[in-house]
Amino acid sequence: MFSISTLVDVVRIPPSLFGTTLKKAAVNILKEKYESMISADLGYIIMILDAKIDEMGKMIPGDGGTFHKVEFEVLTFYPKLQEIVLGEIVDITDFGAFVRIGPTDALLHLSQVMDDYLKSDVKSGIILANQSGRTLKVGSKLRARITAVSLGKVASMGKIGITCRQPFLGADEWIAEEIKKSGSDTNKPTKEAKVEVS
């Protein structure tokens, strides 16, 4: 889920940036520190949106920079268990596929694609279902449910697991087929039960 969060920090403006505006210098420093970071509380920090910098800074003896309190907004993506996400396959491996959801990739394990025997052809970049003949390839768009989330304490580590083994999940064309089948089933006339009253 995407959201906007407000954070507070203190930034050090080095003397080399004294010629630029205070806000521009602070935002550039915040971007270097926070953008592309993973937080256990916030999830993936995508970008700095806006910042309010306290113009009155502090100096520390022996340090030529100034320190300013900053309140800033960040755009974040926090994957939640059971959330339905849209994604695109970016890589096929022996054990499944990596699907781009928001700013990161999630693992779609072969066992979570569908109820069918699957073959993964890494060279061709395709996953093929034995019985149904359905395929997934790099570039396929799909809908999936998040089944596992692990946002570690290390700033660059995050793991997400997804599944397509539920109704109305999977590649867009599979979902269209399921909707068509379910729609045709509802149009069939139902047999009325005859009840004898004595």
Same domain, 110 and 66: no
22, 57, 77: which is the final residue of a domain? 77
Same domain, 49 and 9: yes
Which CATH number do you get for residue 52?
A: 3.30.1490.120
Same domain, 168 and 112: yes
188 pLDDT tier (thresholds 50, 70, 90):
low
Q: Is a pLDDT exceeding 70 seen at residue 24?
A: yes
Query: Which residue, among 93, 125, 87, 83, has the nearest Cα to 105 in the 3D structure?
Result: 87
Which CATH number do you get for residue 120?
A: 2.40.50.140
Same domain, 55 and 117: no
- How does pLDDT run across 150-161, given as a tens digit for each residue? 886 554 567 899
Torsional sign, CA 168, 171, 174, 176:
positive
Same domain, 68 and 136: no
Determine the structural domain holding residue 150 and report its residue range.
Answer: 84-177
- So what's the pLDDT on residue 198? 46
Rounded to an integer, what distance in angstroms lies between the CA atom of residue 180 and that of residue 115? 20
- How does pLDDT run across 68-113, given as a tens digit for each residue? 999 999 999 999 999 999 999 999 998 889 999 988 899 999 889 8
- So what's the pLDDT on residue 189? 53
Q: Is a pLDDT exceeding 60 seen at residue 127?
A: yes
Alpha-carbon distances, residue 158 vs 101, 104, 118, 186 (angstroms): 13, 9, 27, 43
Same domain, 27 and 105: no
Same domain, 11 and 40: yes
Q: For the whole model, what pTM was predicted?
A: 0.74
Question: How many structural domains are present in the chain?
Answer: 2
Contact (CB, 8 A) for 38 and 79 = no
- Sheet bearing 118-121, strands edge to edge: 118-121, 126-129, 135-137
Cβ-based neighbour number of residue 181 at 10 Å: 9
> 95: which 2 tokens?
């054990």
DSSP 189: P
